[in-house]
């Protein structure tokens, strides 16, 4: 959580007065979930300001990845120095306030924070996915998708 807060402050410092919200999502946002230690961040801005925010994020060192982006969510990667890991990977998802992706990301995280059995089930699924698909990120996401959709349907 401290790494997220530090990076959130760094991003907000360069965005100035831009109307944005920055939230911690992904495995590191849910204590005890486990994972690869990647800090996942989602940033929501006004839809008409996405290009401006994108340019600022790229100036901060975030690399845009068109292949991993979706219609309502732009995806970026960054690697920053870290006292514990040497280098820590950050994934940043840029979207707009009204997007379904914004609400889904927060609903999924919030559900795992409240429901210990769902958190355990998801941790088990993540381990199975990693064991079965290795480093293939697309297959890893597909493996987890039915569980995520089930949670979102009930959230």
Tens digit of pLDDT for each residue in 121-150? 999 999 998 889 877 778 888 999 999 999
pTM of this structure: 0.91
Measured CA to CA, the distance from residue 58 to residue 15 in angstroms comes to 12
Count helices and strands (H / E) in the chain: 5, 5
Q: What is the mean pLDDT of the segment spanning 14-22?
A: 86
Domains, the chain, in order of start with CATH, read: 2-154 (3.30.460.10)
Q: Name the percent of the chain in helix, strand, coil, to the closest 5.
A: 55, 25, 20
Instruction: Decide if pLDDT at 14 tops 80.
Output: yes
pLDDT at position 1, please?
Answer: 59
pLDDT at position 97, please?
Answer: 95
Contacts of 50 (CB under 8 A, 6+ apart): 74, 94, 96
Q: Which tens digit of pLDDT belongs to each residue from 73-122? A: 999 999 988 777 688 899 999 999 999 999 999 999 999 999 999 999 99
pLDDT at position 81, please?
Answer: 83
Beta bridge partner(s), residue 24: 41
């Amino acid at each position: 959580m401290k790494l997220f807060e530090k990076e959130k402050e760094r991003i907000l410092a360069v965005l100035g007065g831009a109307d944005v919200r920055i939230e911690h999502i992904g495995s590191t946002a849910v204590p005890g979930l486990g994972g690869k230690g990647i800090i996942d961040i989602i940033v929501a801005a006004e839809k008409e300001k996405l290009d401006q925010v994108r340019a600022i994020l790229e100036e901060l060192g975030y690399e845009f990845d068109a292949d991993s982006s979706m219609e309502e969510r732009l995806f970026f990667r960054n690697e920053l120095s870290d006292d514990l890991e040497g280098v820590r990977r950050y994934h940043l998802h840029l979207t707009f306030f009204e997007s379904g992706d914004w609400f889904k990301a927060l609903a999924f995280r919030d559900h795992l924070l409240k429901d210990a059995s769902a958190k355990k089930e998801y941790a088990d699924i993540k381990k199975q996915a990693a064991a079965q698909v290795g480093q293939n990120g697309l297959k890893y996401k597909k493996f987890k998708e039915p569980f995520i959709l089930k949670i979102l349907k009930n959230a």
